[in-house]
Structure 1
Amino acid sequence: MNISEYSLLIKELFVAGGIVMPPLLLCILLLWYGVGYRFWVMKEPKSMSVRDMLLYYQEHTEKPAKNIVAQAMQQGIALKKKGVRNLRRHLDAAFYEYEREIGKFSVLIRVIVLISPLLGLLGTVIGMIETFDSLATMTLFSQSGGIAGGIAQALFTTQMGLTVAIPGLLMNSLLNRKLRQIEQDLSQVKDLLCHQRNTIKNSMSHKL
Structure 2
Amino acid sequence: MFEIIKAGGWLMWPILICSVMALAICIERIWTLRATKIAPKHTLALVWKWIKNKQLDSKKLKELKSNSPLGEILAAGLANSKHGREIMKESISEAAARVIHELERYLNTLGTIAAIAPLLGLLGTVLGMIEVFNQIGAASALGNVDSLAGGISKALITTAAGLTVAIPSLMFHRFFVRRVDELVVTMEQEATKLVEVVHGDREVDYSEVGKQ
TM-score by length of 1: 0.74
Could you tell me how far 1:43 is from its partner in structure 2?
A: 1.7
Paired with 2:186 and 2:201, the residues of 1 have a C-alpha distance of: 23
Paired with 1:178 and 1:170, the residues of 2 have a C-alpha distance of: 12
Contact 2:15/2:120 (<8 A) preserved:
yes
**Which runs of 5 or more residues in structure 1 are unaligned?**
1-8, 202-208
Paired with 2:125 and 2:9, the residues of 1 have a C-alpha distance of: 10
Alignment partner of 1:18 is 2:12: no
Q: How does 1:35-46 map to 2 (within 5 A)?
A: 35-45=26-36
Residue in structure 1 matched with residue 102 of structure 2 by the alignment? 101
Paired with 1:76 and 1:165, the residues of 2 have a C-alpha distance of: 35
Once the two structures are superposed, residues 25-67 of structure 1 have per-residue CA deviations (whole angstroms, 9 ceiling, x without a partner) of: 1111221222222222202458x996x65214543879x99xx
Could you tell me how far 1:146 is from its partner in structure 2?
A: 4.8
Contact 2:76/2:95 (<8 A) preserved:
no
Partner-residue secondary structure (3-state), 2:200: helix
Aligned length: 182
Q: How does 1:1-208 map to 2 (within 5 A)?
A: 9-10=1-2, 12-45=3-36, 53-56=43-46, 58-59=48-49, 71-82=68-79, 83-85=81-83, 86-140=87-141, 146-199=147-200
Q: 1:130 to 1:79 in 2, by over 3 A?
A: closer
Partner-residue secondary structure (3-state), 1:199: coil
Paired with 2:5 and 2:140, the residues of 1 have a C-alpha distance of: 23
Could you tell me how far 1:160 is from its partner in structure 2?
A: 0.3
Q: Which amino acid aligns with 1:158?
A: T
Paired with 1:113 and 1:78, the residues of 2 have a C-alpha distance of: 37
Contact 1:134/1:146 (<8 A) preserved:
no
Paired with 1:113 and 1:17, the residues of 2 have a C-alpha distance of: 19
More displaced, 110-119 or 186-195? 186-195
Contact 2:132/2:152 (<8 A) preserved:
yes
Could you tell me how far 1:96 is from its partner in structure 2?
A: 2.2
Paired with 1:152 and 1:57, the residues of 2 have a C-alpha distance of: 63
Q: How large is the Cα RMSD of the aligned pairs?
A: 3.1
Contact 1:76/1:193 (<8 A) preserved:
no
TM-score by length of 2: 0.72
Q: Which amino acid aligns with 1:163?
A: T
Could you tell me how far 1:174 is from its partner in structure 2?
A: 1.1
Q: Which amino acid aligns with 2:177?
A: N
